[in-house]
Amino acid sequence: MRSALTLRARQRVWALALLVCVVACTSPGTTTRDTPAAGEEPPPRFTAGGPDAEAFGASADYPIGDRGTFDRIGALVGSHSHLDEIFPGRLIHKAPAPSRLVRVAEPRITWQFQGADLTLDDYLARTPTTGLLIARGDTILVERYQYGRTDRHRCTSWSMAKTVTALLVGIAIAEGRIRSIDDLAATYVPELAGSEYGRTSLRYLLQMSSGVRFSEHYTGADDVSRLAYDTFFLYGAGGPSAVTPFNDRAAEAGTKFSYASVETQVLGLVLRAATHRPPAEYLESGTSRRHRRAATAGPSHGTLHPRRAARRVRTRARRRGPFALSEPATGWSLSRARSAGRCWGCSPFRLH
């Protein structure tokens, strides 16, 4: 039972879905919600428990692990809401004038599955979800937390960073730092010359259709684990040398989608080479430039520019403004903020 639980939890941790931080568990608790005064925004909803809470450290107040124990069952909740205290990260300051998200009364969301009518309460009662956020435009429709987590915790966002990486590639193209989406990765990272990833275009890396063989099953013995050891765990040199071992082509580029975190890793290397700075610094510098332009030129209109799209992702990540992209080793991940004005975050093997 415990070994099955361990595998299931690790799979959820490494394959965390967009906008849902899956890192926890406890016996289900009672969901509470304060009644807001007239004209005030309703608060998020918090629950002390959650499915299998005791296995995830509820009685010990969800302890925080270390580099050797952060992914163990009893430390998942505490560790993945304090991962910046376990692994190094890069700080990104919030925008000088961050956009604001408005929270409204939670709508009733229902669906049918296997003949049963289900609600968000049913979903949270049967999944180890620490945080669930549903937003549309500039409005937060749903914001709930389990396992004693709150909107002040820095929940690791995992593969949300893939989307932000893609936005940064678009920004770099718009600024002329990357010439074309059809350029090969080796054009910007000479260390990849002669390798299969070096011969892959940025277009196919963004689509995760490089055709290069890469296993990502979260077993601890697959390719994504090796990538993590060489970057996130700092056992290897990181950089291009963490990518070149994966050099077996299984399909022609552009013909087959295959989820592979290493392809975002390659894009991170391209961004760093093309912009001459880590992706985190590139993003922060763009925030400052946009603020200065807005102060002198006023708002822009028309088609959504990649730079504006990136700003939306950043500012919506945190309604009060601060957010972070952590970059220990060779990449980064978007994280919810905890402190006013700045925030830290961490994600496995960067650019996860």
Residues in Cβ contact with 129 at an 8 Å cutoff, skipping those fewer than 6 apart: 20, 21, 22, 24, 50, 123, 146
What is the rounded CA–CA span in Å between residue 31 and residue 29?
6
- Give the pair of three-digit tokens for residue 132: 């669930």
Distance of CA 352 to the CA centre of its chain: 7
**What is the pTM (predicted TM-score) of this model?**
0.70
What is the DSSP-derived secondary structure letter of residue 261? Answer: H
Tens-binned pLDDT, residue by residue, of the chain (352 aa)? 444 444 444 444 333 333 333 333 323 333 344 444 446 889 999 999 999 999 999 999 999 999 999 989 999 999 999 998 998 888 788 888 888 899 999 999 999 999 999 999 999 999 999 999 999 999 999 999 999 999 999 888 888 889 999 999 999 999 999 999 999 999 999 999 999 999 999 999 999 999 999 999 999 899 999 999 999 888 888 999 999 999 999 999 999 999 999 999 999 999 999 999 999 999 888 765 554 443 333 332 223 343 443 344 333 333 333 223 333 333 323 233 222 222 222 233 233 2
The CA-based dihedral angle spanning residues 190, 330, 135, 152, taken in that order and rounded to the nearest 10 degrees: -170
